[in-house]
Structure 1
Amino acid sequence: MVENGEEAKTALSTRVDYRTISPYVRFVHEVIIAVGAINPERYIYDHEFIYVVKGAGTLRIEDRMYPMGPGDLLYIRPRMANEMFVSESEPLHCFAVHFDYVFLGEAAEFSPYVVYLGNRAEEGAPDASWLHARPDAELIDMNIPERMTPARVHDFFDAFKELCRAFEERRADAQIWLKASMLKLIGLIHGELTTEEGIRVSHSHADMMLGAIQYMKENFASAIDLKLLAARASLSPKYFGTLFKQATGLTVPQYLTGIRIGEAKRLLRENAHTIEAIAEKVGIGDMYYFSKLFKKTEGLSPKRYADSLRWLASKEG
């Protein structure tokens, strides 16, 4: 625990997106906390998910109080004072995982057994000032609330069970499977927070953005831009663009490009059209610009993508 009033240095924060996320799991456990127990105020220095299986309680994060019940997922960010109270009626059965969204290097590493579970006064334990100044990585593509109740209860339970099994493994490749299990959990959370189209379900203009996306999907071969979509919604282009980015995490051109490249890949798999024809069919008349966008999105040119599909098809026999 960090004493109140201790002066902390400013920590550096790295911005992580879906392209760069590579979770590093520091500690996982399944625990049953006794009736009426109070876990005294503490600070954590990485990210923590707590998933409640059974029982009830309350979690305080800074000045915010959250009820805890079966199926609840709680999220504590670094350097947040937190305290847990278990109800007087039954024990609290939960999972907890401590992690970073990327490995921050050996210089930023610490032992969860010493910092969270052990004696902070023991030799070699990091001091509070160092821990508060420890760098952090934040996921910018997803705004995870401090408390949510996922609908896919069985999937979340299985994901935490899988994390526990992977954490306890002693195989040489255990870290790979642990990372994969953590990515699966983050994927499940993403699925709870966004629609199939990638719109944040909590966004106040979700229906309007869904309408814009549907229009793009139905008319991607035509000329579409921010001004057109904004006019359809009776909003200014600047305001509509801001709302769209808030709702999806992408700009209108980025989202439209994704739709067009997805359709181009489908047409390439058909192997019935030239690349020039496909560029025209998806609304990008300039073949060279189309090729540039395709390579930027997929990592290889349309021709190489088509060649790889033909090579795979030849191996099916």
Structure 2
Amino acid sequence: MNPLRKHFDPDTSLPIELVLRSTKNLQSELPDHLHDWYEIIYVHSGAGSFFINHTFYEMQAGDLYLIPGNTIHRTLPHSDEPITSSAMFFSGQYVQTTAIGKDAYSFLRCFDKAKTGRNYRIELLPAERTRIESIIDEMNEELLLRQPGYSQAVLLLLQTVLLHTNRKMNPGEPKQQHGGSRPGWLQSALNYIDAHLVDSLSLSALAARAAVSPSYFSRMFKQMTGLNVTEYIIAKRIMHAKELLGDTDYTVAEIASLCGFESLPHFYRMFKKVAGSTPAHYKRVDDRST
């Protein structure tokens, strides 16, 4: 199992990272990302597919993608149209909820909506594209020059992006995604896995549901998601375990069972491999950050 677990320093004084106008193609694109920081991706140009959580999107210039922490995601650029994008990674505590008077405001509301509605893409209008590109360039200049007050300036710029994104979010139904060259059974299989993480999920059973051979199912699954079936299922189970560790008072043994692991030692091994720490250590860190 080797999804890219992107590492960020939780103790840094400026918990934000900006990747400016990075061009990706099939040769240079990274494996799957799986990290606890929030991420905003803006597409400047190019085309490709974007796999987020368990849904595929067809990327195009002007798209803005919201990726909550603890979410599997991977871009697959088109061979003839490399993707050029900018990405902002940041800690949720960095833009924590503020209150003026009696009104509390969460800058992370847009991520909550994206996760609840399972729609992580926003299509920006021309004026909105110009505005966010300007903010990204200004943020990059602040990070490069590091003039007095630059950390406050970067925070204000990020909060401005989140404020406009919160206002832009449409609570309605997401647009239907086009399948492109992906087989229809793949999306059905991803939906099924997401809804049955606690159950026994074997390659042969999933292939039988899709009415294809196990070898073909396995090959297409790896090609489209970047992970083989077992890797993907374990990663999703660990993501669910991290949510339970942060949001509930279940014991580690109870969480292991609720996430479909047959034994506690296996759960510990897989959690350490995917999350980079033990469940107990992860819970302690999460408790300190809340």
Q: TM-score range by the shorter chain?
A: 0.3 to 0.5
The two structures have a TM-score, normalised by structure 2, of 0.48
The two structures have a TM-score, normalised by structure 1, of 0.44
Say which one has the larger Rg: 1
